[in-house]
Amino acid sequence: MKITPIGIWGGYPKANSATSSFLIEHDGFHCLIDCGSGVLSSLQNYVPLEKLDAVVVSHYHADHIADIGSLQFSRIINFYLGHQAPPLPIYGHMEDQENFEKLSYKDQTVGVGISDGNVVQIGPFEVSFCRTIHPVYCLAMKFSVGDNSIVLTADTEWRDELVDFAYGTNLLISEANLYEKHLGKAPGHMAGSEAGRLAKLAGAKQLVLTHLPLHGDINEILEAAGAVYDGPTELARVGYEYYIM
């Protein structure tokens, strides 16, 4: 498996960047994880849009779905240019029926329902889901091939169930939107120390921090995580390729 950060920010993107999103690939299959603001532009540095095989969205906040409409329109344009393609599956939960229905568009994309405890096969990946603690229904996800896995927490406060969900993962990609001084003051997000604690308790082999705040010195978040978890820890870097064998 190979996973590449497409964007790293929470809420909205900084200039010339994108909100938190990842491209995961294996055996020629390309799956986009979340599709928020700026993601479609960044994604094209790594894969042509028409080569995308699936999209998985964790929840329906704008910083995770803002570019879905643009992605759908790109497929409409290709259709008008005579490039036939099967509908692109976009996996999302059905707790918000209005937003779920928007995942299907003019036979170019089709929404596929996912839920807490659900396990689905997406190309070469076995993908499982765990509900997080967030102001709206949101799903963490685990992508597995054989004995190897990558876990993405999506947006969440601390939740004990995530320890078992992420247990033994090769790579934990955790949200870390809060500085320590804001811990407990902003609903639906974790601080660096909590991301480090999750990695430690889950026995993760590596920790990558994402959904980063747009203010302050984000290296403080990295330091807070590293003070708790002694494994390899870094801030997500757009375009860096992580390989799990």
* CATH code where residue 70 lies: 3.60.15.10
Quick: pLDDT tens for 27-75.
Answer: 999 999 999 999 999 999 999 999 999 999 999 999 999 999 999 999 9
Domain containing 24: what range? 2-243
How far, in Å, CA of 38 to CA of 50, rounded?
17
Q: Could you give the number of structural domains in the chain?
A: 1
Sheet holding 54-56, edge to edge: 109-114, 88-93, 54-56, 29-33, 21-26, 2-7, 242-243
> Is it the case that residue 245 has pLDDT exceeding 90?
no
Strand partners, 152: 141, 173
> Is it the case that residue 20 has pLDDT exceeding 90?
yes
